[in-house]
A and B are shown apart, each in its own frame.
Chain A
Amino acid sequence: MDLNFSDDELAFRDEVRAFLDKNLPAALAAKVKGGKRLVKEDMDTWHAILNRQGWLAESWPVEFGGTGWNAVQQQIFEDECCAAGAPRTVPFGLKMLAPVLIKYGSEEQKRTYLPRILDGSDWWCQGYSEPGAGSDLASLKTKAIRDGDHYVVNGQKTWTTLGQYANKIFCLVRTSTEGKPQEGISFLLIDMETPGITVRPIILLEGTHEVNEVFFDDVRVPVANLVGEENRGWTYAKYLLTHERTNIANVGANKVSLAHLKHIGQHQKIRGRPLIEDPLFAARLAEIEMDLDAMATTNLRLLSSPDSAANAGPMSSMLKIKGTEIRQALNDLTRRALGPYAMPFVSEALDTGYNEAPIGPDYAAPVSQEYFNNRKISIYGGSNEIQRGIISKMMGL
């Protein structure tokens, strides 16, 4: 047992730090650290910078343009990026679709789509959930009916994150109603420019536009855009859901959030003293910090475990639950740390170019919005209830 990074890992970390120091634009990092809203251009810029370095596809094999890094290296990279204030890379193409294409896609699909993810030609979004198929994803109803060389797609997807920026969508569609619901699902790649597709924004409770509804009305999709075999889509989707283990716990982002909360705790005053010296606040902060420190090690233990691949499902579930619970606890304590200044909400203050003086301390503006917005993280990607179900099933219950 050795809790320290090896010399190689330390050297790798230094290399990542040096790269970030030199290449991450200061204005972009300031935006991320200040909790400002990012626009498409910000994300495209960061993707292009990483791509030039060959580090955009951190989890892909080298032969497809990836880094070939192991899980621990990927985690070091993610943590360093978070600490430096880099935007998160957009996961839909890089981390959700690509692993499926690499494992199940045709040679043609890999050759066509993987490079376009890297160079930014395609922005993918995910078409999984439907109004009636949330936690029970397999009950999805969007139909794809074969008509010669095409599928004709009809139905509706929802919670399509950043779909407003996307030119492509990967979808789970129903190609058969026979047998178990899971057995009639196929995985289709669809061009958003195809006639019959309508995207409608969904505004979240704190007023932001992140997610969308996508409607399909007689949308004709070439049969060549089917991934793998017809009616095997559920297997591919499950692979996608369990493949991604690195960073699912968001250790790096949680550490940044904790450090930020401490900074706020030092600047907020209670009876003239820093809030962080208040015994109740200090205890609540300590509780979260302990949990996070333990989780960072849980995360690395699971990532470096040799049988991790076999336990991928329950492992991801565990990391997702702990990671989101810690994040929400941090968001809540940050909200409380501000006292009355958690209330003011001038939405424009989160946009770049807002020049008026902040209301209250300069760190206050994004806090409550983030608290409310992050209620989503225990709901999306398989709610934490679904994740606990996966773990209990694994235990034989």
Chain B
Amino acid sequence: MDFNHSDDRTMLKDMVSRFLADNYPLAVRNRSAESTEGFSRDIWQQFAELGLIGALFDEQHGGFGGAGFDISVLFEALGRGLVNEPFLASAILGGGLIAQLGNDVQKDILTEVISGKTLLALAHGEPESRFDPAQVTCRASQTDSGWTIDGHKAVVLNGDSADILVVTARVSGGDWDEDGISAFLVPAGQSGVEIRGYPTIDGLHAAEIHLSSVEMGGDALLGPIGKAFPAIELAVARANIALASEAIGLMDVCRDMTLDYLQTRKQFGVPIGKFQALQHRMATVLMEIEQARSACINAAGRLDLPRVQREQAVSTAKALAGRVGRLVAEEAIQMHGGIAMTWEFDLGHYAKRLIMIDNQFGDVDYHLARFAELSRTAA
């Protein structure tokens, strides 16, 4: 047993941390969060040149990583830096599906994704699907020349910046069937695709995407007809490891800021960290973050295990990220007091992202229920 990362991953982590410390102050991040796309194309290019996008793909697909611990190491560092460039949307979600399902021609896109020149987004969730990855009502019908796609995709992360959308649609079966779902490559500018982008409360961007009789050729289909679900589930699993790791990075920042504040802010003539009421709460914050971190390590380490073990570990990591993330965000604000309620003070920006991670790809309750269901399946 060895809980140290390999030299390569340690170097990756150090490189990202150094780059962010030198080039990514919060003021710069907040400025790009308010820009048209919600992130900086220029910094995205720099990330690509540093090889950070490639770290999320395996060698077979032109990258040099792509394992669970590559995801966790990178996203923890991105969380610490409160990075809002589209790693999750383009590399993990969109790129993840192409890597799993694409043919050789389709996989050529990944070279451009890894170099940062092409952006992807996964248009999967729908207005009523909540967190259920199998609930797809968007339809794809086969035509003489290919496919016609219709439907509404909701809260598509970075959907307003993508060059190519990976759109999931039902080709057969009922609304909740795992079987009968396909994924398609749809250029964002395709006729019949209407994209309404908007900012999110935590400084990202997403979009509502309406597809009305979108005509696609046969080459738009990813993988065998109607068999995309296992790949979607795995892409979502990787996304949840990314999000849980990002949450760990955010929690570490919130803990450090709060600890510093407790040691320096004086009221009643002493640093407020001298009050036992706050000391014990801070101790709880530290303990719970370590629990969330362990759950995250488990999930990253079990990514290649059989489905049920993998998915249980992923649900555990995301449930703990949600529960502990809320605890840490709320306690950090409360122990800071009024100052943490302000836009000017850094903490609130980390807290907003930390809370909103719970609303992506399954909140605490979704993953609790899912873990229990998987336990029943396994028994």
Q: Once the chains bind, are A203 and B154 in contact (CB under 8 Å)?
A: no
Among B326, B360, B368, contact of A343 (Cβ-Cβ < 8 Å): B360
Q: Once the chains bind, are B365 and A135 in contact (CB under 8 Å)?
A: no
Among B155, B175, B343, B351, contact of A341 (Cβ-Cβ < 8 Å): B155
Cβ-closest chain A residue relative to B175: A272
In the assembled complex, which residues on chain B have CB atoms less than 8 Å from the CB atom of A203?
342-344
Given the known A-B contacts A280-B368, A336-B365, A360-B154, are A375 and B352 also in contact in the complex, defined by CB atoms under 8 Å? no
Cβ-closest chain B residue relative to A392: B277
Q: Once the chains bind, are B341 and A272 in contact (CB under 8 Å)?
A: no
Decide if A159 is an interface residue (CB 8 Å cutoff).
yes
Q: Once the chains bind, are B338 and A281 in contact (CB under 8 Å)?
A: no
Question: Number of A residues contacting the other chain (C-beta, 8 Å)?
Answer: 52
Q: Once the chains bind, are B365 and A345 in contact (CB under 8 Å)?
A: no
Decide if B85 is an interface residue (CB 8 Å cutoff).
no
Residues of chain B in range 270-298 having any CB-CB distance to chain A below 8 Å: 272, 275, 277-278
Q: Once the chains bind, are B330 and A344 in contact (CB under 8 Å)?
A: no
Which of A60-68, A73-81, A215-223, A263-271 lies at the interface?
A: A263-271
Given the known A-B contacts A203-B344, A205-B348, A207-B343, are A343 and B355 also in contact in the complex, defined by CB atoms under 8 Å? no
Cβ-closest chain B residue relative to A281: B365
Residues of chain B in range 319-346 having any CB-CB distance to chain A below 8 Å: 326, 330, 333-334, 337-338, 340-345
In the assembled complex, which residues on chain A have CB atoms less than 8 Å from the CB atom of B343?
203-205, 207
Q: Once the chains bind, are A271 and B359 in contact (CB under 8 Å)?
A: no
Among B131, B206, B326, B369, contact of A339 (Cβ-Cβ < 8 Å): B131
A136 to B272, alpha carbons, bound, how many Å?
10
The secondary-structure label for the interface of chain A is mixed
In the assembled complex, which residues on chain A have CB atoms less than 8 Å from the CB atom of B127?
341, 360
Q: In whole Å, how far is B72's beta carbon from the nearest beta carbon of chain A?
A: 23
Band of interface residues on B: 35 or more
Q: Once the chains bind, are B198 and A344 in contact (CB under 8 Å)?
A: yes
In the assembled complex, which residues on chain A have CB atoms less than 8 Å from the CB atom of B340?
205, 375
In the assembled complex, which residues on chain A have CB atoms less than 8 Å from the CB atom of B268?
135-136, 139
Among A336, A359, A378, A388, contact of B334 (Cβ-Cβ < 8 Å): A378
Which of A28-36, A91-99, A314-322, A366-374 lies at the interface?
A: A366-374
Among B330, B337, B352, contact of A383 (Cβ-Cβ < 8 Å): B337
Residues of chain B in range 186-200 having any CB-CB distance to chain A below 8 Å: 196, 198-200
Cβ-closest chain B residue relative to A349: B198
In the assembled complex, which residues on chain A have CB atoms less than 8 Å from the CB atom of B198?
344-346, 359
A336 to B268, alpha carbons, bound, how many Å?
38
CB contacts between A and B, total, < 8 Å? 138
In the assembled complex, which residues on chain A have CB atoms less than 8 Å from the CB atom of B131?
339-340
Among A280, A281, A360, A372, contact of B201 (Cβ-Cβ < 8 Å): A372
Q: In whole Å, how far is A367's beta carbon from the nearest beta carbon of chain B?
A: 9
Cβ-closest chain B residue relative to A205: B348
In the assembled complex, which residues on chain A have CB atoms less than 8 Å from the CB atom of B206?
343-344
In the assembled complex, which residues on chain B have CB atoms less than 8 Å from the CB atom of A328?
330
Decide if A14 is an interface residue (CB 8 Å cutoff).
no
Decide if B130 is an interface residue (CB 8 Å cutoff).
yes
A376 to B358, alpha carbons, bound, how many Å?
21
Decide if A342 is an interface residue (CB 8 Å cutoff).
yes
Q: Once the chains bind, are B338 and A379 in contact (CB under 8 Å)?
A: yes
Q: Once the chains bind, are A379 and B334 in contact (CB under 8 Å)?
A: yes
In the assembled complex, which residues on chain B have CB atoms less than 8 Å from the CB atom of A111?
none
Residues of chain B in range 132-173 having any CB-CB distance to chain A below 8 Å: 132, 135, 154-155
A343 to B363, alpha carbons, bound, how many Å?
13
Q: Once the chains bind, are A385 and B278 in contact (CB under 8 Å)?
A: yes
Decide if B6 is an interface residue (CB 8 Å cutoff).
no
Decide if A56 is an interface residue (CB 8 Å cutoff).
no
Among A280, A339, A375, contact of B333 (Cβ-Cβ < 8 Å): A375
Known A-B contacts: A205-B351, A272-B175, A339-B359. Give 7 more (CB < 8 A). Answer: A134-B267, A270-B130, A271-B132, A280-B365, A342-B356, A343-B360, A375-B333
State the A residues within 8 Å of B (CB).
129, 132, 134-136, 139, 158-159, 202-207, 268-272, 275, 278, 280-281, 284, 328, 332, 335-336, 338-346, 359-360, 368-369, 371-372, 375-376, 378-380, 383-385, 388
7 tightest A-B contacts by CB? A205-B348, A345-B201, A136-B267, A340-B155, A343-B200, A203-B343, A339-B130
Mind listing 14 A-B residue pairs with CB under 8 Å? A136-B268, A139-B267, A205-B340, A205-B341, A205-B345, A205-B349, A272-B176, A336-B365, A343-B206, A343-B359, A344-B199, A359-B198, A376-B341, A379-B334
State the B residues within 8 Å of A (CB).
125, 127-128, 130-132, 135, 154-155, 175-176, 196, 198-202, 204, 206, 208, 266-268, 272, 275, 277-278, 326, 330, 333-334, 337-338, 340-345, 348-349, 351-352, 355-356, 358-360, 363-365, 368-369
